[in-house]
Amino acid sequence: MTKPRTEGANLPADKLAELYRTMRLIRDFEESMIKFQKAGELPGPVHLCIGQEAVATGICDHLDDTDYIASTHRGHGHFIAKGGDPALMMAEVFGRVDGICQGKGGSMHAADFSKGILGANGIVAGGVGLATGAAYACQLAGKGQVSVVFFGDGAAAQGVISEALNVASLWKLPLLLVCENNGYSEFSPYNTVNAGEIADRGAAFKVPSIQVDGNDMVTMWRTARTAVERARAGEGPTLIEAQTYRHRGHVEYEDTFLTKPYRSEEEVEAWKAKDPLPRFRDYLVSGELVPSEDLDAIDADTASIIRNAADFARNSPWPEPGDALKHMF
C-alpha cells in the first residue's frame, strides 16, 4: 500500500468552499436525524456518519451524475455528496410519499438512480457486486465513467470484496473500492474482526492500494482524484482505505439495548478532537484560503436547507396503503 503525504492545498477557494459546504450539509442532515430519532419521528433505524463526512465528500466531488456509487447502511453522506437532494432523502427516512423511494426504502435503501446513486444497502458489502457490475457497464460504454463502492472496515471481512478485487483487476474495471475504516464493526473493535490491514489486501490482486487519513479533507480529495483519473483512463481499480471514526453510535437507538460500553470516552474524545469539519474549517480560515464570513454564510445556508427539508418531510403525507403492492415488476 502507499500512504499519501498531506500537502498544502493549491485548490481554488471556490472548490474549497464547495467541499466545506458538502461536509457541512451532511453534518447538518445527520444532526437533525439525532433529534428526529429521539423525538420518535423516524419509523426505522438510522446509522449516522458524523465524523466521516470528508470521505464521502472527497470521493464524490470527482464524480458526475453519470458515474455510479453504491453505498452502505451508513449512507446519508454518500447520497448528499453525490448530489442527492437532502429533502427527498429526509422525506424517505420519515417514510413519506415524497421520499426519494416513496417511503418504501427508508434510510437503508435511499437511492437516486437519476444521479447514479445505486442506493444505500442493508446488507453489509451488498453494494460491492452492484458497483462492480456498474463498473463493467462503464467500461462497455467506453465513455470514461467510473463506479465507486463504499464499505466499512467490518464489511472488509466479507469475501465478496476479494472477489471484486480479483475481477476488477483482471478486467481493469473503472472501480474505486473505498473502505471507510471507522474502527468498529458494529460493536467489535477493528483488530478483533480484521487480521492485518485492509489496504494491504489489494496488492496481492495487483490493485493499487492507498491508506489515507480520512479526516483530512484535502488529502482525501487528492487521493480520490488520482484514483478516479486512473479509472477514467482505463487503468483499472484502486483500493482506498480511509481511516476515520464515527462520533455517534453504530445505530441511533443503541443505548436502549447495550448493557455495557464498547469503547472508551477518551477514545471518542480523542477522535472528536480530530473532527474533519472544524479541522477543515480551521485550515481554511487559518490558512486564509476562505474567509470565515463565507463559511458562516455556508453554515447558514445549509442549516436552512435542512430546516426546509425537515418541513418538507414532515408535511409530506404517508403513502397510500395500497401502494405497497406496486413496483415489483
265-284 residues in contact with another protein (CB under 8 A) are: none
Q: Is 3 in the site for a second copy (CB under 8 A)?
A: no
SS3 69: strand
Residue 68: beta bridge partners? 147
* Nearest residue to 155 (alpha-carbon basis) of 116, 126, 187: 126
| Partner from another protein, ligand TPP, a second copy, none binding residue 262, C-beta < 5-8 Å depending on class | another protein
Q: Is 252 in the site for another protein (CB under 8 A)?
A: no
Q: Is 124 in the site for ligand TPP (CB under 6 A)?
A: yes
* Sole residue written with cell 467510473: 146
Q: Is 153 in the site for Mg ion (CB under 5 A)?
A: yes
Among 11, 104, 158, 225, binds a second copy (CB under 8 A): 158
* Sole residue written with cell 420518535: 40
| Partner from another protein, Mg ion, ligand TPP, none binding residue 1, C-beta < 5-8 Å depending on class | none
Q: What are the backbone angles phi and psi of residue 77, rounded to the nearest 5°? A: -65, -45
Q: Is 152 in the site for Mg ion (CB under 5 A)?
A: yes
| Partner from another protein, Mg ion, ligand TPP, none binding residue 74, C-beta < 5-8 Å depending on class | ligand TPP
Please give the C-alpha separations between residue 242 and each of 95, 119, 145, 219, in angstroms, as whole numbers: 32, 21, 22, 10
Residues numbered 121 to 140 that lie near another protein (CB under 8 A) are 121-126, 128-140
Q: Is 152 in the site for ligand TPP (CB under 6 A)?
A: yes
257: enclosing H helix or E strand: none
Among 123, 137, 203, 303, binds a second copy (CB under 8 A): 203
Rounded CA separation 133/300 (Å) = 40
Please give the C-alpha separations between residue 306 and each of 21, 205, 249, 251, in angstroms, as whole numbers: 13, 43, 22, 21
Residues that bind a second copy (CB under 8 A): 157-163, 165-167, 169-170, 192-197, 200-201, 203-207
